[in-house]
Amino acid sequence: MPFPQTEIPGRLQKQLAGRGIRMTAQRRAILSVIEMATKHLDASQILRKARRVDATVDRSTVYRTLDLLKRQGLIDELDLMHIKGEGHYYERRLDRDHIHMACLRCGKITEFASKTFDSLKKQLERDCHFHIVVSRLEVGGYCSGCRR
Amino acid sequence: MPFPQTEIPGRLQKQLAGRGIRMTAQRRAILSVIEMATKHLDASQILRKARRVDATVDRSTVYRTLDLLKRQGLIDELDLMHIKGEGHYYERRLDRDHIHMACLRCGKITEFASKTFDSLKKQLERDCHFHIVVSRLEVGGYCSGCRR
DNA sequence: AAGCCTCTTGCGATCAGTTGCGACTGGAGA
DNA sequence: TCTCCAGTCGCAACTGATCGCAAGAGGCTT
Protein backbone atom coordinates (compact mmCIF):
# COMPACT_ATOMS: atom_id res chain seq x y z
CA MET A 1 0.00 0.00 0.00
CA PRO A 2 2.29 2.80 1.17
CA PHE A 3 5.39 1.32 -0.41
CA PRO A 4 4.46 -0.48 -3.59
CA GLN A 5 7.89 -0.12 -5.14
CA THR A 6 9.55 -2.06 -2.38
CA GLU A 7 7.19 -4.97 -2.40
CA ILE A 8 8.71 -8.30 -3.26
CA PRO A 9 6.38 -10.45 -5.37
CA GLY A 10 5.91 -13.83 -3.86
CA ARG A 11 6.64 -12.79 -0.32
CA LEU A 12 3.20 -13.58 1.03
CA GLN A 13 3.42 -16.94 -0.64
CA LYS A 14 6.77 -17.68 0.91
CA GLN A 15 5.52 -16.61 4.31
CA LEU A 16 2.55 -18.95 4.17
CA ALA A 17 4.54 -21.84 2.75
CA GLY A 18 7.11 -21.33 5.46
CA ARG A 19 4.36 -21.92 7.99
CA GLY A 20 3.33 -25.17 6.37
CA ILE A 21 0.22 -23.75 4.82
CA ARG A 22 -0.86 -25.37 1.62
CA MET A 23 -0.55 -23.37 -1.58
CA THR A 24 -3.10 -23.50 -4.39
CA ALA A 25 -3.46 -21.71 -7.71
CA GLN A 26 -6.37 -19.71 -6.35
CA ARG A 27 -4.38 -18.62 -3.34
CA ARG A 28 -1.48 -17.61 -5.51
CA ALA A 29 -3.74 -15.41 -7.59
CA ILE A 30 -5.25 -13.78 -4.53
CA LEU A 31 -1.89 -13.24 -2.87
CA SER A 32 -0.41 -11.65 -5.95
CA VAL A 33 -3.34 -9.24 -6.19
CA ILE A 34 -2.88 -8.19 -2.58
CA GLU A 35 0.87 -7.77 -3.00
CA MET A 36 0.60 -5.71 -6.13
CA ALA A 37 -2.10 -3.43 -4.84
CA THR A 38 -1.30 0.27 -4.89
CA LYS A 39 -4.43 1.25 -3.00
CA HIS A 40 -6.81 -0.24 -0.47
CA LEU A 41 -8.80 -3.04 -2.03
CA ASP A 42 -12.08 -4.49 -0.85
CA ALA A 43 -13.03 -8.12 -1.22
CA SER A 44 -14.92 -7.70 -4.48
CA GLN A 45 -12.02 -5.83 -6.06
CA ILE A 46 -9.67 -8.57 -4.95
CA LEU A 47 -12.03 -11.13 -6.43
CA ARG A 48 -12.28 -9.30 -9.75
CA LYS A 49 -8.52 -8.91 -10.08
CA ALA A 50 -7.79 -12.45 -8.94
CA ARG A 51 -10.17 -13.76 -11.56
CA ARG A 52 -8.10 -12.04 -14.20
CA VAL A 53 -5.16 -14.08 -13.00
CA ASP A 54 -7.11 -17.30 -12.52
CA ALA A 55 -10.71 -17.47 -13.68
CA THR A 56 -11.54 -20.36 -11.32
CA VAL A 57 -11.29 -18.22 -8.19
CA ASP A 58 -14.57 -18.22 -6.29
CA ARG A 59 -15.88 -15.52 -4.01
CA SER A 60 -15.93 -17.73 -0.95
CA THR A 61 -12.32 -18.64 -1.62
CA VAL A 62 -11.36 -15.00 -1.53
CA TYR A 63 -13.02 -14.54 1.83
CA ARG A 64 -11.48 -17.70 3.20
CA THR A 65 -8.04 -16.66 2.04
CA LEU A 66 -8.46 -13.21 3.52
CA ASP A 67 -9.53 -14.83 6.77
CA LEU A 68 -6.49 -17.07 6.72
CA LEU A 69 -4.18 -14.12 6.09
CA LYS A 70 -5.80 -12.20 8.92
CA ARG A 71 -5.40 -15.07 11.32
CA GLN A 72 -1.77 -15.41 10.26
CA GLY A 73 -1.26 -11.74 10.96
CA LEU A 74 -0.16 -11.01 7.42
CA ILE A 75 -2.88 -8.55 6.44
CA ASP A 76 -4.95 -5.95 8.19
CA GLU A 77 -8.65 -5.44 7.76
CA LEU A 78 -9.95 -1.88 7.73
CA ASP A 79 -13.35 -0.40 7.31
CA LEU A 80 -12.15 3.15 6.72
CA MET A 81 -15.17 4.41 8.61
CA HIS A 82 -17.39 2.78 5.99
CA ILE A 83 -17.38 5.97 3.96
CA LYS A 84 -17.76 4.05 0.75
CA GLY A 85 -20.25 1.52 2.01
CA GLU A 86 -20.33 -1.35 4.43
CA GLY A 87 -17.44 -3.39 3.07
CA HIS A 88 -13.97 -3.94 4.43
CA TYR A 89 -10.59 -3.18 2.92
CA TYR A 90 -7.43 -5.20 3.16
CA GLU A 91 -3.78 -4.32 3.09
CA ARG A 92 -0.46 -5.92 3.72
CA ARG A 93 0.61 -5.66 7.29
CA LEU A 94 3.82 -3.73 7.66
CA ASP A 95 6.21 -3.72 10.52
CA ARG A 96 4.83 -0.65 12.12
CA ASP A 97 1.18 -0.06 12.87
CA HIS A 98 -0.21 3.04 11.34
CA ILE A 99 -3.37 5.05 11.68
CA HIS A 100 -5.94 5.47 8.92
CA MET A 101 -7.62 8.79 8.59
CA ALA A 102 -10.61 8.97 6.33
CA CYS A 103 -12.02 12.27 5.13
CA LEU A 104 -15.78 12.16 5.46
CA ARG A 105 -16.20 14.63 2.63
CA CYS A 106 -13.78 13.74 -0.17
CA GLY A 107 -12.96 10.16 0.82
CA LYS A 108 -9.21 10.66 0.90
CA ILE A 109 -7.35 8.20 3.08
CA THR A 110 -4.27 9.39 4.94
CA GLU A 111 -1.93 7.07 6.74
CA PHE A 112 0.13 8.10 9.69
CA ALA A 113 2.66 6.29 11.83
CA SER A 114 3.32 7.67 15.27
CA LYS A 115 5.54 6.94 18.23
CA THR A 116 2.69 8.06 20.44
CA PHE A 117 0.60 5.23 19.03
CA ASP A 118 3.39 2.80 19.86
CA SER A 119 3.59 4.24 23.37
CA LEU A 120 -0.15 3.98 23.79
CA LYS A 121 -0.10 0.31 22.94
CA LYS A 122 2.69 -0.29 25.41
CA GLN A 123 0.66 1.50 28.04
CA LEU A 124 -2.31 -0.76 27.37
CA GLU A 125 -0.17 -3.84 27.69
CA ARG A 126 1.35 -2.62 30.92
CA ASP A 127 -1.67 -1.13 32.68
CA CYS A 128 -4.17 -3.81 31.66
CA HIS A 129 -1.81 -6.77 31.52
CA PHE A 130 -3.05 -7.34 28.00
CA HIS A 131 -0.96 -8.92 25.29
CA ILE A 132 -1.73 -7.09 22.06
CA VAL A 133 -1.76 -9.15 18.87
CA VAL A 134 -3.60 -6.82 16.53
CA SER A 135 -4.68 -3.23 16.76
CA ARG A 136 -6.57 -0.83 14.60
CA LEU A 137 -6.96 2.91 14.89
CA GLU A 138 -9.25 4.52 12.35
CA VAL A 139 -10.26 8.12 12.38
CA GLY A 140 -12.96 9.95 10.48
CA GLY A 141 -13.07 13.69 9.98
CA TYR A 142 -12.10 16.39 7.53
CA CYS A 143 -8.78 16.60 5.74
CA SER A 144 -6.89 19.84 5.28
CA GLY A 145 -8.39 20.33 1.84
CA CYS A 146 -11.96 19.96 3.05
CA ARG A 147 -11.81 21.76 6.35
CA ARG A 148 -13.96 24.79 6.64
CA MET B 1 -22.47 0.61 28.67
CA PRO B 2 -19.77 1.47 31.16
CA PHE B 3 -22.10 3.53 33.33
CA PRO B 4 -25.58 2.13 33.11
CA GLN B 5 -26.69 3.50 36.43
CA THR B 6 -26.09 7.06 35.41
CA GLU B 7 -27.95 6.90 32.16
CA ILE B 8 -30.93 9.17 31.88
CA PRO B 9 -33.85 7.55 30.02
CA GLY B 10 -35.04 9.70 27.17
CA ARG B 11 -31.78 11.50 26.68
CA LEU B 12 -31.14 10.20 23.18
CA GLN B 13 -34.68 11.14 22.28
CA LYS B 14 -34.24 14.65 23.59
CA GLN B 15 -30.97 15.03 21.74
CA LEU B 16 -32.52 14.03 18.43
CA ALA B 17 -35.63 16.13 18.94
CA GLY B 18 -33.45 19.08 19.85
CA ARG B 19 -31.86 18.77 16.43
CA GLY B 20 -35.20 18.83 14.65
CA ILE B 21 -35.19 15.15 13.90
CA ARG B 22 -38.58 13.56 13.68
CA MET B 23 -39.57 11.10 16.39
CA THR B 24 -41.53 7.92 15.75
CA ALA B 25 -42.74 5.08 17.94
CA GLN B 26 -40.20 2.77 16.35
CA ARG B 27 -37.37 5.17 17.01
CA ARG B 28 -38.42 5.55 20.61
CA ALA B 29 -38.32 1.82 21.10
CA ILE B 30 -34.88 1.55 19.54
CA LEU B 31 -33.48 4.46 21.47
CA SER B 32 -34.73 3.09 24.77
CA VAL B 33 -33.07 -0.25 24.07
CA ILE B 34 -29.77 1.42 23.36
CA GLU B 35 -29.99 3.60 26.43
CA MET B 36 -30.83 0.77 28.74
CA ALA B 37 -28.17 -1.55 27.45
CA THR B 38 -25.72 -2.87 30.01
CA LYS B 39 -23.48 -4.54 27.45
CA HIS B 40 -22.54 -4.16 23.83
CA LEU B 41 -25.48 -4.95 21.60
CA ASP B 42 -25.44 -5.91 17.95
CA ALA B 43 -28.17 -4.99 15.50
CA SER B 44 -30.13 -8.20 15.86
CA GLN B 45 -30.16 -7.92 19.64
CA ILE B 46 -31.37 -4.35 19.36
CA LEU B 47 -34.07 -5.49 16.97
CA ARG B 48 -35.21 -8.28 19.26
CA LYS B 49 -35.39 -6.03 22.31
CA ALA B 50 -37.03 -3.20 20.41
CA ARG B 51 -39.71 -5.57 19.18
CA ARG B 52 -40.56 -6.35 22.78
CA VAL B 53 -41.26 -2.66 23.24
CA ASP B 54 -43.01 -2.18 19.90
CA ALA B 55 -43.78 -5.19 17.75
CA THR B 56 -43.98 -3.11 14.56
CA VAL B 57 -40.26 -2.36 14.47
CA ASP B 58 -38.70 -3.65 11.27
CA ARG B 59 -35.12 -4.72 10.81
CA SER B 60 -34.37 -2.09 8.21
CA THR B 61 -35.69 0.54 10.57
CA VAL B 62 -33.18 -0.57 13.17
CA TYR B 63 -30.33 -0.21 10.74
CA ARG B 64 -31.59 3.15 9.55
CA THR B 65 -31.90 4.42 13.08
CA LEU B 66 -28.44 3.19 13.95
CA ASP B 67 -27.12 4.93 10.87
CA LEU B 68 -28.85 8.13 11.86
CA LEU B 69 -27.44 7.95 15.38
CA LYS B 70 -23.97 7.34 13.97
CA ARG B 71 -24.21 10.31 11.66
CA GLN B 72 -25.41 12.44 14.53
CA GLY B 73 -22.41 11.36 16.56
CA LEU B 74 -24.57 9.90 19.31
CA ILE B 75 -23.43 6.28 19.12
CA ASP B 76 -20.25 4.48 18.23
CA GLU B 77 -20.02 1.43 16.03
CA LEU B 78 -17.54 -1.25 17.02
CA ASP B 79 -16.62 -4.55 15.52
CA LEU B 80 -14.69 -5.78 18.56
CA MET B 81 -12.26 -7.50 16.20
CA HIS B 82 -15.15 -9.61 14.91
CA ILE B 83 -14.44 -12.24 17.53
CA LYS B 84 -18.08 -13.24 17.67
CA GLY B 85 -18.77 -13.02 13.95
CA GLU B 86 -18.94 -10.39 11.31
CA GLY B 87 -21.51 -8.08 12.86
CA HIS B 88 -21.11 -4.72 14.49
CA TYR B 89 -21.87 -3.56 18.00
CA TYR B 90 -23.26 -0.24 19.08
CA GLU B 91 -22.90 1.82 22.22
CA ARG B 92 -23.74 5.26 23.48
CA ARG B 93 -21.02 7.72 22.79
CA LEU B 94 -19.61 9.19 25.93
CA ASP B 95 -17.67 12.33 26.40
CA ARG B 96 -14.33 10.67 26.33
CA ASP B 97 -13.18 8.24 23.69
CA HIS B 98 -12.07 4.93 25.03
CA ILE B 99 -10.27 1.92 23.67
CA HIS B 100 -11.83 -1.51 23.27
CA MET B 101 -9.67 -4.51 23.96
CA ALA B 102 -11.03 -7.86 22.90
CA CYS B 103 -9.56 -11.10 24.16
CA LEU B 104 -9.19 -13.45 21.24
CA ARG B 105 -9.51 -16.44 23.51
CA CYS B 106 -12.27 -15.81 26.04
CA GLY B 107 -14.07 -12.95 24.29
CA LYS B 108 -13.88 -10.58 27.23
CA ILE B 109 -14.08 -6.93 26.30
CA THR B 110 -12.10 -4.42 28.31
CA GLU B 111 -12.52 -0.70 27.97
CA PHE B 112 -9.79 1.77 28.71
CA ALA B 113 -9.63 5.53 28.61
CA SER B 114 -6.24 7.09 28.28
CA LYS B 115 -4.70 10.53 28.19
CA THR B 116 -2.18 9.19 25.73
CA PHE B 117 -5.02 8.42 23.35
CA ASP B 118 -6.25 11.97 23.71
CA SER B 119 -2.73 13.25 23.05
CA LEU B 120 -2.41 11.03 20.01
CA LYS B 121 -5.56 12.45 18.51
CA LYS B 122 -4.34 15.96 19.11
CA GLN B 123 -1.09 15.06 17.39
CA LEU B 124 -2.98 13.80 14.37
CA GLU B 125 -4.99 16.99 14.16
CA ARG B 126 -1.89 19.11 14.44
CA ASP B 127 0.57 17.22 12.26
CA CYS B 128 -1.87 16.30 9.51
CA HIS B 129 -4.15 19.33 9.71
CA PHE B 130 -7.01 16.90 10.08
CA HIS B 131 -10.18 17.70 11.97
CA ILE B 132 -11.21 14.56 13.81
CA VAL B 133 -14.95 13.89 14.12
CA VAL B 134 -14.93 10.22 15.07
CA SER B 135 -12.22 7.80 16.08
CA ARG B 136 -12.02 4.18 16.97
CA LEU B 137 -9.20 2.20 18.52
CA GLU B 138 -9.81 -1.51 18.86
CA VAL B 139 -7.26 -3.98 20.01
CA GLY B 140 -7.21 -7.76 19.87
CA GLY B 141 -5.01 -9.97 21.98
CA TYR B 142 -4.97 -11.93 25.19
CA CYS B 143 -6.28 -10.70 28.52
CA SER B 144 -4.50 -11.24 31.79
CA GLY B 145 -6.58 -14.34 32.50
CA CYS B 146 -5.75 -15.98 29.20
CA ARG B 147 -2.13 -15.06 28.75
CA ARG B 148 0.28 -17.89 28.66
C1' DA C 1 -59.60 19.96 13.93
C1' DA C 2 -58.05 19.55 9.07
C1' DG C 3 -54.61 19.91 5.52
C1' DC C 4 -50.20 19.34 3.91
C1' DC C 5 -45.60 17.91 2.90
C1' DT C 6 -41.59 16.01 3.91
C1' DC C 7 -39.79 12.42 6.32
C1' DT C 8 -40.18 7.50 7.85
C1' DT C 9 -41.76 2.98 7.56
C1' DG C 10 -42.39 -1.98 6.01
C1' DC C 11 -41.32 -5.02 2.57
C1' DG C 12 -38.84 -7.38 -0.82
C1' DA C 13 -34.69 -7.44 -3.28
C1' DT C 14 -29.78 -7.09 -3.28
C1' DC C 15 -25.03 -6.94 -1.69
C1' DA C 16 -21.00 -8.10 1.88
C1' DG C 17 -19.47 -11.87 4.30
C1' DT C 18 -19.94 -16.88 6.15
C1' DT C 19 -21.03 -21.84 6.27
C1' DG C 20 -21.71 -26.79 5.07
C1' DC C 21 -21.18 -30.34 1.82
C1' DG C 22 -19.27 -33.21 -1.63
C1' DA C 23 -15.68 -33.24 -5.02
C1' DC C 24 -11.02 -32.15 -5.88
C1' DT C 25 -6.02 -31.84 -5.01
C1' DG C 26 -1.33 -30.43 -2.83
C1' DG C 27 2.35 -32.34 -1.20
C1' DA C 28 4.44 -35.74 1.86
C1' DG C 29 5.91 -40.40 2.11
C1' DA C 30 6.92 -44.83 0.15
C1' DT D 1 6.11 -42.40 -9.89
C1' DC D 2 2.11 -43.66 -7.18
C1' DT D 3 -0.78 -43.41 -3.11
C1' DC D 4 -3.09 -41.19 0.32
C1' DC D 5 -5.36 -38.01 3.27
C1' DA D 6 -6.07 -33.81 5.21
C1' DG D 7 -6.84 -29.53 3.46
C1' DT D 8 -9.14 -26.68 -0.17
C1' DC D 9 -12.35 -25.68 -3.57
C1' DG D 10 -16.92 -24.37 -5.88
C1' DC D 11 -21.58 -23.97 -5.10
C1' DA D 12 -25.76 -22.96 -2.90
C1' DA D 13 -27.77 -21.43 1.11
C1' DC D 14 -27.59 -18.46 4.95
C1' DT D 15 -26.76 -14.11 7.86
C1' DG D 16 -25.40 -8.98 8.47
C1' DA D 17 -26.41 -4.75 6.33
C1' DT D 18 -28.35 -1.68 2.61
C1' DC D 19 -31.47 0.01 -0.96
C1' DG D 20 -35.70 1.43 -3.61
C1' DC D 21 -40.53 1.99 -3.68
C1' DA D 22 -45.13 2.91 -2.26
C1' DA D 23 -47.78 3.70 1.74
C1' DG D 24 -47.99 5.80 6.18
C1' DA D 25 -47.43 9.48 9.53
C1' DG D 26 -45.16 13.38 12.42
C1' DG D 27 -45.56 17.81 13.21
C1' DC D 28 -46.25 22.39 11.54
C1' DT D 29 -49.60 25.80 9.86
C1' DT D 30 -54.09 27.51 9.32
B22 to chain A nearest CA, in Å?
24
Task: Give residue A96's pLDDT.
Answer: 79
Residues of chain B whose beta carbon is less than 8 angstroms from a beta carbon of chain A are 77, 79, 81, 99, 101, 103-104, 110, 112, 114, 116-117, 119-121, 123-124, 127-144, 147
A43-53 and A59-71 helices, crossing angle to 10°: 110
Residue A7 banded pLDDT, cuts 50, 70, 90: low
When pLDDT is cut at 50, 70 and 90, the band that residue B95 belongs to is: confident
Q: Count chain A–chain B contacts defined by CB atoms under 8 A.
A: 112
What number is the average pLDDT over the span A72-82?
91
Task: Write down the mean pLDDT value for chain B.
Answer: 90
Instruction: Among A104, A120, A136, select the one facing B117 at the smallest CB separation.
Output: A120
Which domains does chain B possess? 1-94 (1.10.10.10), 96-148 (3.30.1490.190)
DSSP string, chain A: ---GGG--TTHHHHHHHHTT----HHHHHHHHHHHH-SS-EEHHHHHHHHHHH-TT--HHHHHHHHHHHHHTTSEEEE-GGGTT-S--EEEE--SS--EEEEETTT--EEEE--HHHHHHHHHHHHHHT-EEEEEEEEEEEE-TTT--
Query: How many Å from the CA of A44 to C1' of C14?
Result: 15
Report residue B6's pLDDT band, with 50, 70 and 90 as the boundaries. Answer: very low
Give Cα separations from B134 to A100, A102, B93, B137 (angstroms). Answer: 12, 10, 10, 10
pLDDT of B147 above 90: no
Cross-sheet strand order for the sheet of A89-92: A41-42, A89-92, A75-78
CB A92 within 8 A of CB A81: no
- Name the pLDDT band for A85 (thresholds 50, 70, 90): confident
* Helix (H) or strand (E) run with residue B78 in it: strand B75-78
Nearest CA in chain B to A134: B140
Q: Which of A67, A73, A31, A140 is nearest to B86 (CA)?
A: A67
Which residues does residue B103 pair with via DSSP β-bridges, in sequence order? Answer: B141
Residues 6 or more apart whose CB falls under 8 angstroms from that of A103 comprise: A83, A109, A110, A140, A141, A142, A143, A145, A146, B130
Distances, alpha carbon A3 to alpha carbons A39, A67, A129, in Å: 10, 23, 34
The protein residue nearest nucleotide C9, judged by CA to C1', is B61
B143: closest chain A residue by CA: A130
B7-11, B14-18, B53-57, B129-133, range with the lowest pLDDT: B7-11
CB < 7 Å to strand D — which of 74-113 in chain A?
Answer: 82, 85-86
> Shortest CB distance from A101 goes to which of B103, B110, B130?
B130
The whole-number pLDDT of residue B94 equals 80
pLDDT in tens, B14-63: 999 999 999 999 999 999 999 999 999 999 999 999 999 999 999 999 99
A44 — alpha (psi -120 to 50), left (phi > 0) or beta?
Answer: alpha
B8 falls in which pLDDT band (50, 70, 90)?
low
pLDDT at A6 over 80: no
Question: In angstroms, rounded to a whole number, what is the distance separating the alpha carbons of residues B121 and B127?
Answer: 10
pLDDT score, position B3: 42
pLDDT tens by residue, A96-146: 789 999 998 888 999 999 999 999 999 999 999 999 999 999 999 999 999
Strand D footprint nucleotides (protein C-beta < 7 Å): 7-13, 16-20, 25-27
This model of the complex carries an ipTM of: 0.87
pLDDT exceeds cutoff 50 at B118 = yes
pLDDT of residue A86: 86
Nearest to B130 among A81, A119, A143 (CB): A143
How far is residue B143's CA from residue B135's CA, in Å, rounded to a whole number? 23
The answer to whether B101 and A108 have CB atoms below 8 angstroms apart is no
Residue with smallest Cα–C1' gap to C24 = A24
Query: Which nucleotide's C1' sits nearest to the alpha carbon of A66?
Result: C17
| Residue B140: alpha-carbon gap to chain centroid | 18
